[in-house]
Structure 1
Amino acid sequence: MSDGLHTALQYLTSIPAWYLATSVDDQPHVRPFSFAAIQDGKLWFCTATTKDVWEELLQNQRFEATAWWPGHGWLILRGRAGLEDRAAADVRDAGWRHLEGLGEHYDGPDDPKLVFFSVEDPQAWICNHDEWKPLEL
């Protein structure tokens, strides 16, 4: 795993929530997310096919995410959602358990409503008030 990928994952998992933005028909949509994992050298996120964010990603795969980690600055992550759900069993289980812990309910990690997407063509920066430092992902 690259240092940049590890750093991005650390920013996304060291805080209670981070924010993912989509854009459809010239209208941005932002919502909190809180699950991220690494598989096959890529970041993976989890959502549900019943949520607006999934429908928005089907229309426009480009997204941006940001996470502020107090005392460390913030992460800006841009990419394209890889919509082919190839999440491994351990990632599916972790995502399912995470969402269940938030009060969502699914019929296990293989519930067809659960969907995992990878971050393709990622660009990332760690920022503070004085500088933006690119991360190699």
Structure 2
Amino acid sequence: MNGIETIVDYLTSVPAWYLATVEETPEGAKPHVRPFSFAAIQDGEIQFCTATTKDVYREMQGNPQVELTAWKPGSGWVILRGKANLEDRANAQVRQEGFEHMVGLGEVWESADDERLTFFTIDDAEAWICDIDGSWNPVAL
């Protein structure tokens, strides 16, 4: 299994993982964390799904620096960080999978081609699988 497959396998084996963005406020930059649960591989990249109408999308437009993390009992936790690339390059299969996933969470979409539904990747990504012993084991992406 290559590094990208390792990360996607990890993210899709837990109910939710958490994405941190930077929210620009009048008081300055603030971290903003929220649960996510969709990740898929397309053309050697990890595709993530959100909506152009959500705060997370606006925050990534303003500052593309992101970090995600998830913990799986008995497996440590994963960290992936980089720059969000908001160019939606999802193919029809990934778009359909993302649409079905989001509908399964209770969100309402017209179809997989709903213009609000969008996919992003993470450029310049670095990833680790970490353990309680303090080890950070790099995952080659």
TM-score, normalization: structure 2?
A: 0.94
Displaced runs of 4 or more, over 6 A: none
CA distance in 2, matches of 1:70, 1:23: 28
Structure 2 counterpart of 1:43, from 43, 46, 51: 46
CA distance in 1, matches of 2:45, 2:36: 17
Structure 1 partner of 2:137: 133
Unaligned runs of 5+ in 2: none
The 5-angstrom pairing of residues 1-20 of structure 1 reads 3-20=2-19
CA distance in 2, matches of 1:80, 1:108: 28
Q: One-letter code of the match for 1:4?
A: G
Unaligned runs of 5+ in 1: none
The 5-angstrom pairing of residues 20-99 of structure 1 reads 20-25=19-24, 26-99=29-102
Q: How far did 1:20 drift?
A: 0.1
TM-score, normalization: structure 1?
A: 0.97
Structure 1 partner of 2:106: 103
Q: One-letter code of the match for 1:103?
A: G
Aligned length: 136
Q: How far did 1:24 drift?
A: 2.6
Q: How far did 1:65 drift?
A: 0.1
CA distance in 2, matches of 1:79, 1:119: 6
